[in-house]
């Protein structure tokens, strides 16, 4: 099967339930984790920059249950039952973008966000920075589009059209700029 069309996730995969201190509490299907108000589970968000200091954004696939067609960070997902964060992030980079790179963990936070009747995010999310290496081949079963954007242009877009972006991405970008600027400077100019 063509790598750019491969199905890489399902509503039945088991995610890792956690408390607010990231202690594992059990497992639950992805579907159940996102039903109604959601159940707190472990997740990650990756922010990848090119050699020009521009951030890779992805537009979520139209078939996504939550926030289809919205712009978001380079890659985000969940570790599955039995997966370490390192294995899960590398798997997802290959699955979504067909790349490999090293990642730097920056921080973690809890958030919730409701998407109409479709369900909610209720996640303890680990945020990572990295560099884009290799040719990107976006998997169109997950991603509708990709583009690179400078921090200045991104800030302007977030100010003018915040409704085009996922809620977690807006929170994460603000926290990176406001609380972790020294780490971001290793990847881009603010």
Which residues are part of the catalytic machinery? 76, 123
Place of tokens 């926290």: 175
Q: Which stretches of the chain are DSSP H helices?
A: 30-34, 85-97, 151-160, 167-179, 181-184
Report the relative pairing of strands 55-60 and 71-72 from DSSP bridges: antiparallel
Are the C-beta atoms of residues 71 and 165 closer than 8 Å to each other? yes
- Read off the tokens for 108: 């973690």
C-alpha 114/C-alpha 145 separation (Å) is: 23
- Read off the tokens for 112: 């919730």
Residue 129 sits at the vertex; the CA angle it makes with 84 and 87, to the nearest 5 degrees, is 20
Sign of the CA dihedral running 175, 92, 162, 36: negative
Are the C-beta atoms of residues 38 and 122 closer than 8 Å to each other? yes
């Amino acid at each position: 099967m063509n790598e750019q069309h491969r199905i890489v996730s399902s509503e039945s995969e088991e995610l890792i339930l956690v408390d607010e201190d990231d202690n594992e509490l059990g497992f639950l299907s992805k579907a159940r984790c996102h039903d109604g108000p959601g159940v707190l589970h472990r997740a990650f968000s990756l922010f990848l920059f090119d050699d020009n200091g521009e951030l890779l954004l992805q537009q979520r696939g139209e078939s996504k249950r939550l926030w289809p067609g919205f712009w978001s960070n380079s890659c985000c997902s969940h570790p599955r039952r039995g997966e370490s964060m390192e294995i899960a992030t590398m798997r997802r980079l290959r699955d979504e973008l067909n790349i490999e790179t090293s990642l730097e963990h920056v921080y973690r936070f809890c958030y919730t966000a409701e998407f109409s009747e479709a369900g909610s995010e209720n996640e303890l999310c680990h945020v990572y920075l990295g560099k884009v290496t290799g040719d990107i081949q976006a998997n169109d079963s997950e991603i509708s589009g990709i583009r690179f954007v400078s921090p200045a242009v991104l800030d302007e877009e977030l100010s003018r059209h915040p409704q085009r972006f996922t809620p977690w991405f807006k929170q994460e970008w603000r926290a990176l700029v406001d609380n972790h600027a020294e780490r971001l400077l290793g990847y881009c100019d603010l």
